[in-house]
Amino acid sequence: MSYPTFHNLIGGQWLPAVSGKSILNLNPADHRDVVGAFPSSHAEDVALAMAAAQKAFVSWRLVPAPKRAEILMRAGLLLKDRKEQYAREMTREMGKVLTETRGDVQEAIDEAFYVAGEGRRLFGQTTPSELPNKFAMSLRVPLGVVGLITPWNFPMAIPAWKLFPALVGGNACVIKPASATPLSVYNLVQALVDAGLPPGVVNIVSGSGPAVGMALVEHPGVRAVSFTGSSEVGSQVAQRAAALFKPVSLEMGGKNAQIVLDDANLELALDGALWGAFGTTGQRCTATSRILLQKGIAARFTAEFVSRAQKLVVGNGLEASVEVGPQINPSQVETSAKYVAIALAEGAKLLTGGHPLTEGAYAHGSFFEPTVLGGVTPSMRIAREEVFGPVVGLMEFDSFEQAIEIANSTDYGLSTAIYTKDVNRAFTAMRDLETGIAYINAPTIGAEVHLPFGGVKRTGNGHREGLGAIDFFTTWKAVYVDYSDKLQRAQIDNAE
């Protein structure tokens, strides 16, 4: 079997892992198709990358921010030219349908253009001093070398959310791509390199989370860590980073609800629910995993939603007719099956789906049927725990107030949608939903790069991607210029 071999990018050079070992990147739609062999790295590789990043940071931080931004703009244009190639390669390694991987690359393009504009907007403040003949101001300055740990479900967009703000802020970066989808990060960084990014400013170390991710968190040269992944791993990252006094940005799981009130446009709500639940095969942190139905429309909505779910075409995402691709690997299929079994044992009803697809065209892939569960109650595990698969639970409620209470009843707080024509209830929902993102008459998925992205509770720790990422990847420096030509003592009672 012939397939390409990739290396780590360290100081502008492509180097194999110190161990000499590799991890095979398999097509989740057909495990016989090997996308490539990527380094199985460890702490030694992280140390090499850190040394290169620290060396590059010395000069990169002195490049004017508008000039750093010009590199991002050129990278965005290169991504635009390579969009179809990179999207097809992403579908092959990650599985989601081609229209979605095109959108993933487009989000990286959008992020490049947006953050490039921030190169002239790294504003500080000037302010009056309390003393005469003294000038006071504040500046944004880079942190140093930052560690970036990225997930497999948006293998180019999310790395772009992290890399581009970090770079325009003047930081050097070591990035660990998800071991299931490293090629898309390689493609993203290749665009930066081709756009003129100096060697060592971005370094790629590929490998498993325990071997590379934690080594990155623990390396003394890493000034901050940005992590996207599960809440369980995020907790470990946060605890270790806290012990080392390192800032950490966490974007983690969700248990997102779509609320449908009696007065909703049901066709619109059905379209949103189908896309929110089964887009990206349910493998989004913003995926709709709970649909809350007011009792007046519950029966009608349920019948139509189940019918539409049954008609979805599952298969290889490169095929034009396919609407739902594979799950990322057999382990995720097992998780989906496990949660369906738990839900049924707790009293939920299987309305459609519920099983792995293993016959015929599905025999060599990781496929699971689009699944709808009815009779779900707020106390069930299927209503509280993240599945990260094409599994959605339907729940019924009486009043608007009860819907808000159910939506807020989980440990997560990323995204919620409400469908209603009542403007008063829409604005009340905006105020009362305990989530970082709220959609009115739109699905729970579909964030835009120039707004803050993140959540509350077990979803995040207060930092945001998008608007807010610059805040995380820079720090403040206060500057005082005393031109009085004499000693002036601040915070001393100077009254005569």
Catalytic pick among 107, 173, 285, 386: 285
Catalytic pick among 100, 107, 111, 251: 251
**Gap between the Cα atoms of 21 and 35, Å rounded:** 16
**Gap between the Cα atoms of 466 and 106, Å rounded:** 15
Which residues are CB-contacts of 33 (< 8 A; sequence separation ≥ 6)? 26, 27, 92
What b-and-e string marks burial along 331-358, b requiring 16 or more CB atoms within 10 Å of the CB?
Answer: ebbebbbebbeebeeeebeebbbbebbe
Amino acid identity, residue 369? E
Ranges of H-type helices in 61-148: 65-81, 83-94, 98-118
For residue 327, what are its two tokens?
């799950």
Q: Which of 360, 359, 357, 355 is nearest to 314 (CA)?
A: 357
Q: How far is CA 443 from CA 38, 124, 272, in A?
A: 36, 37, 5
Instruction: Please confirm, yes or no, whether 44 is among the known catalytic residues.
Output: no
Which is it for strands 30-39 and 22-27: parallel, antiparallel or unpaired?
A: antiparallel
Instruction: Please confirm, yes or no, whether 173 is among the known catalytic residues.
Output: no
* β-bridge mates for residue 37, sequence order: 5, 24
What b-and-e string marks burial along 229-238, b requiring 16 or more CB atoms within 10 Å of the CB?
Answer: bbbebbebbb
**Gap between the Cα atoms of 323 and 314, Å rounded:** 6
> What is the greatest pairwise CA distance in the chain?
91
For residue 447, what are its two tokens?
């964030």
Catalytic center residues = 251, 285
